[in-house]
Structure 1
Amino acid sequence: MRAAMGLWRWRHNPLRRTTDLFEAWLALAAAVLVVTAGPAVGWITGALTEESLRQSVRVQCLQRHATTATVIGAASTPRPVAFDTEAAVNEERRAVRAKWAAPDGSTRTGTVPTALRTAGPGDTFSLWTDDSGRIAPRPMDMATVEVHAALAGVAASMAWGVLVECTRRLVVWRLVRHRHAALDRAWAAVGPDWGRTGAGS
């Protein structure tokens, strides 16, 4: 961006090189791409992510079923064999032995997590199962879908900006190498005669 601003200040400077002009236009083009295309990339990525997650939620809602479990007693193991990963984050969750009805009507028993503060025999709580009656995480809610989609959009927009800037820096690096090579060739041509009388220097 500084190169683009500098272009306006020294656009008529006789010391300006063609590569200086190219570098300034490159910086301006990169800035325009970041400002205009960046939000578009973020919005498209967020929209696609949201649609994909919504489809996953629809599938989860078809494959998972809410049911009511009844506490049988205290768990013999400190942690259930299959438990909700989201529930595991909540330290108040504890494992109990419980029974519940599978979608086909059969009764299942196992060690499951519960948010009940005092879980005694006969207490009930809600849980989710898959089609076979095994414990499954609850379907993702729409608020989580929107958060994930927004994060994906922001990340994509930032990645686009980094990609554009890295590309610009790579082109400038090659441009500088070209300048140095041109300077070396020019010096090699006039260097041996530098300062000699009548050599045109």
Structure 2
Amino acid sequence: MRRSGDGRTGTPLTRLRRRFGLERSELRRRVDRVQRAIGLCLLVLLLGTAPPLAAVTAAWSFDAGARAEHAERADRRQVVATVTSTGGIGSAGDRYVHETVQASWAAPDGKRRAGTLPSWRNAKVGAHRTIWVDRAGVPTVRPRPHSRTVTDAAYAGAATVLACGVPVALGYALVRRRCDRHRYELWEADWARMDADAGHNPRS
């Protein structure tokens, strides 16, 4: 037999509305209607502020990332480094010296540079590897990829939505807690009144 009035019945949207006190019901009291109105106002506030702010922060992050991309691509160049010795140069206590090689390369200004690079598998003297260097010829990491700019912008937008949603959710939680406390007081008063009526009922 199917039970009616069970909180587990209905569509997920109906259950969600019922859980947050947004479902219409003739049995609701004034405190329930107040909670519902405040919840709707907070929801409208969130929908009115979070998307625009998220769009602004995402656009700001994307522009900053795009500028960083342009600056790094303009400042960095790829050159071919040639291994001059393996094992690196370090003190006897250098535990990572075997993970480096000594190499030389031509800087963007044409001058020869030499230094230590991370080693790779089967690295031998005379082996070549393409590396990134800055204007001074110092090894550096590859320029910022565009995918990172897009990802950072998405993270910035999501973080903004979260930052807007957390205070709203906390505010509604406080409102609901206060309303629940008031409902409990009303229920206790109703039970006390029913007990009093039952005590004065001559048929009881």
Q: TM-score range by the shorter chain?
A: 0.5 to 0.7
**Structure 1, unaligned stretches of length 5 or more?**
81-93, 188-193, 196-201
Aligned residue for 1:199?
none
Aligned counterparts, 1:93-112, within 5 A: 95-112=100-117
Tell me if structure 2 keeps the 8 A contact 1:100–1:107: yes
Identify if the C-alpha distance between structure 1 residues 114 and 154 changes in structure 2 by more than 3 Å, giving closer, same or farther: farther
- State the match for 1:46 in structure 2: 58
Listed as ranges, the gaps of 5+ residues in structure 2 are 1-16, 190-195, 198-204
Aligned length: 169
The alignment's TM-score, normalised by the length of structure 1, stands at 0.66
Whole-angstrom CA distance in 1 between matches of 2:57 and 2:46? 15
Partner deviation per Cα, 1:29-84 (whole Å, 9 max, x = no partner): 2333445644444333222211111111112122322222111110325648xxxx
Q: Secondary structure at the match of 1:103?
A: coil
**What's the offset of the Cα at 1:99?**
0.7
Percentage of identical aligned residues: 29
Deviations 1:67-121 (A, max 9, x none): 22111110325648xxxxxxxxxxxxx5211111223322221111255x32222
Deviation at 1:172, TM superposition (A): 4.2
Does 2:75 correspond to 1:63?
A: yes
AA partner of residue 118 (structure 2): P
Q: Name the residue aligned to 1:85.
A: none
Taking only aligned residues, the RMSD between alpha carbons, in angstroms, comes to 3.4
Aligned equivalent of 1:145: 149
TM-score in terms of structure 2 length: 0.65
Read off the aligned partner of 1:162 and give its amino acid letter.
V
Letter in 2 for 1:129: V
Among 158, 166, 169, the residue aligned to 2:162: 158
1:20 match = 32
SS in 1 for 2:22: helix
Q: State the one-letter code of the partner of 1:107.
A: R
* Counterpart contact for 2:32–2:179, Cα < 8 Å: no
User: Cα offset for 1:171?
Assistant: 4.1
Partner-residue secondary structure (3-state), 2:140: coil
Using a 3 Å threshold, how does the CA distance of structure 1 residues 49 and 20 change in structure 2: closer, same or farther?
same
Q: Which residue of the partner structure matches residue 125 of structure 1? A: 129
Which of 6, 25, 37 aligns to 1:9? It is 25
